Amino acid sequence: MVGKRVGVIGGGQLAWMMALEAPALSIDLIVQAESETEPAVKIAKQFVIGNVDDAIATNKMAQMCDVITFENEFVDLKGLQELNLKEVFKPSLNTLKPLLDKYHQRSFLQQVNLPVPQFSLWSSQEQVIADYGFPLVLKARRHGYDGQGTFIIKDLECLQQLAKTVPVTELLVEEFVPFERELGIIAARNEAGEIAIYPVTETFQQNQVCHWTITPADVPKKVAEEVKAIAHTILDKLEVIGVFGIEFFLTADNRVLVNEIAPRTHNSGHYTLDGCETSQFTMQLQALTGLPLGSTELKSAGAIMVNLLGFEESDTDYLQKRSQILQIPNSFLHWYGKTSRPGRKLGHVTVILDEKELTQAKSIIEQIESLWYGE
């Protein structure tokens, strides 16, 4: 075993869920959090205060850890490289390097012959319109999260309006993919090269924010196999140590395109906490510390996960709504303890389904959303 002290740069709900799983593996989890109010601070063994791009705080945390991993990809790569702690970071800084900038990530995927939407850097307005037409997609090359930094441009007027407030010449340009569905997969790899891949998940995004997932995705076997093969290639090519979340577009003619790689645990894998033999958070800790990777098998026919998103500015804990949701059979609710604001992820619900219930997954999702967002 590599070490039993794992540091996480970030103190939000992903680090919090990792901290929940750490004691079962006799691992001490230390977090670098922006403030003492962040979810993971309450249950981590130790914490350091500092923004995710604060390399000085990371250096301080490194003195307490055997391994350091990441809750998100907003880190200062140059600052981390200067710390001379290369062996501590997992995934390695070399693994992260082609992923933090969306243009570099697209270029990496293209170089290893994986399917991606057409993309380029901005050349000129005339050239972009000639190459892509409308609609087209513009994305911030860094720090885009939960829809922030992604712009779907419907026409010239929309483009000109955006250009008044955003430096469009610095954005990544992509074709608009008229996908039928979005898919996600969670995959892990350890230092020995062992790879574990979870079932393919259907994800539903609104305004580029995940609202719910259904696992396993109802897709042809060939599609599921292709998604898993792509995940395997990505993890091997990058020599990943840890868990990655990978998002895909699926077109009406069953074409699979890689949308995005997240070099960390991922919202589309939250169902694994209650729905799989090994959660993505336990899997992450196993991969980081050199333990054998656990089983990715579902415990039942399937599972749904519904994000509980903020719909108002409030510091209430919504106990009544939460208790109503928990009346649904085989439901598990995870509450992050954050103050509410519109669109913020406050918690999530997982419901474990048998074969019959799996066919009714969307109606159960509607029931949860009605209880949460209704009066």
Residues 345 and 315 in one domain: yes
Structural domain ending residue among the three candidates 89, 105, 131: 89
Residue 96 domain flag = no
Residues 58 and 141 in one domain: no
Q: What is the pLDDT of residues 302-348, one digit of tens each?
A: 999 999 999 999 999 999 999 999 999 999 999 999 999 999 999 99
Residues 355 and 315 in one domain: yes
Amino acid at 236: D
Residue 107 domain flag = no
Q: What is the CATH number of the domain that holds 205?
A: 3.30.470.20
Amino acid at 134: F
Residue 22 domain flag = yes
The SS3 call for residue 174 is: strand
Residue pair 296/278 in contact by the 8 Å Cβ criterion: yes
Q: For the chain, list residues with pLDDT below 50.
A: none
CA distance 272 to 350: 9
Residue 58 parent element (H or E): helix 55-62
Residue 110 domain flag = no
For residue 257, list its beta bridge partners: 249
Q: Cβ atoms within 10 A of the Cβ of 193, count?
A: 11
Residue pair 209/182 in contact by the 8 Å Cβ criterion: no
Q: What is the pLDDT of residue 3?
A: 59
**How many domains does one find in the chain?**
3
Structural domain ending residue among the three candidates 175, 193, 222: 175
Residue 113 domain flag = no
By residue range, what is the domain housing residue 192? 181-373
Residue pair 121/103 in contact by the 8 Å Cβ criterion: yes
Residues 135 and 245 in one domain: no
Handedness of CA 5, 270, 218, 151 (dihedral sign): negative
The SS3 call for residue 171 is: coil
Q: What is the pLDDT of residue 47?
A: 98
∠ at Cα 303 (297, 309), nearest 5°? 130
CA distance 375 to 373: 7
Q: What is the pLDDT of residue 86?
A: 77
Residues 267 and 237 in one domain: yes
Structural domain ending residue among the three candidates 89, 105, 130: 89
Residues 332 and 188 in one domain: yes
Residues 212 and 283 in one domain: yes
Residues 225 and 336 in one domain: yes
Q: What is the pLDDT of residue 145?
A: 64
Residues 128 and 73 in one domain: no
Residues 152 and 185 in one domain: no
Q: What is the pLDDT of residue 10?
A: 97
Residues 247 and 156 in one domain: no
Residue 94 domain flag = no
* 8-state DSSP, 32: E
The SS3 call for residue 326 is: coil
Q: What is the pLDDT of residue 288?
A: 97
Residue 337 domain flag = yes
Report the interhelical angle of 280-289 vs 13-21 (nearest 10°).
70
Q: What is the pLDDT of residue 147?
A: 61
Q: What is the pLDDT of residue 115?
A: 99
CA distance 275 to 367: 19
Query: What separation in angstroms does the CA of 361 have from each of 212, 215, 370?
Result: 11, 10, 14
Q: What is the CATH number of the domain that holds 148?
A: 3.30.1490.20
Q: What is the CATH number of the domain that holds 30?
A: 3.40.50.20
Residue 195 domain flag = yes
Residues 218 and 75 in one domain: no
